[in-house]
Amino acid sequence: MSDVTTRDEDGILVITIDRPEAKNAMTKAAAEAIAEALDRLDSDDALRVGIITGAGGTFCSGMDLKGFLRGESPVVEGRGFGGLVQQPPKKPLIAAVDGYALAGGLELMIACDLVVANSGAKFGIPEVKRGLAAAAGGLMMLPDLIPHKIAMELALTGDFIDAQRAFEIGLVNRVCEGQALTAAMELARTINENGPLAVQVSKQVIEESRGWNRDERWDRQAQIVPKVFMSEDAREGAAAFAEKRKPNWKGK
């Protein structure tokens, strides 16, 4: 049985970590399968949005410690932990979180563009409780996403926070009742209604501009955005608006 399963529906690729008996702890095989699925997401024009979730009511409990003791590392060269954290896909990726997103599971989650969580979900980087550190992105990325002192508290105490608190500090986009995947699919379908090239470039600018100097921002953006305004989709979007119909996107 595979550690990861995938399915696609209406242009959405759903990637499921499928190790419920181990709380979806990340293995080398799972990381490689996720990397392969993300490559497919970016290369297949029929796919526009990805969702990553976990089977059995848990998102991901982090690194598989039994594998760690055997010398296994759930890292893919060039892509990092879980085949994701160092090289996210170019297309939007949503984390659908039920249960626990802990340690590497939280780091996997924050590497995604958007997060939908069940109201009962729990979040944390408890590595310090095991004499480890959240070195798969948590220590570096959390301060970019939430207030510095809250990130520091999570890292130094290893304590968990609930979904409502995660929403309040901006770690989660939406909190839902019921399965997070259902709400994530709704969000993905909303994104899918928009021009795929415009969506991809918008993500690119938001991500890359965090590292741009203030004085170079406009020039750097001007190197990326024109292809959107000169695209067939831009003309189609304007025509569809004028003709009061849904646009027929081509992604070019």
Question: pLDDT tens across 171-186, in order?
Answer: 999 999 999 999 999 9
Choice among 21, 72, 107, 236 that is catalytic: 107
Token pair in block for residue 102: 């802990």
Where is pLDDT greater, at 61 or 1? Answer: 61
Q: Tens of pLDDT along 129-153?
A: 989 899 999 999 999 999 999 999 9
pLDDT at position 67 is 77
Whether the pLDDT of residue 107 is over 70: the answer is yes
Average pLDDT for the chain: 95
Residue ranges of the domains in the chain?
A: 4-192, 196-242
pLDDT at position 1 is 63
User: Could you confirm whether 127 is annotated as catalytic?
Assistant: yes
User: How far apart are the C-alpha atoms of 52 and 68, rounded to whole Å?
Assistant: 23
Span 4-192 CATH architecture: Alpha-Beta Complex (3.90)
Gap between the terminal Cα atoms of the chain: 38
Choice among 9, 32, 36, 127 that is catalytic: 127
| Gyration radius (Cα) of the chain, Å | 19
Q: What number is the average pLDDT over the span 27-42?
A: 96
Token pair in block for residue 158: 């290893």
User: How far apart are the C-alpha atoms of 206 and 227, rounded to whole Å?
Assistant: 16
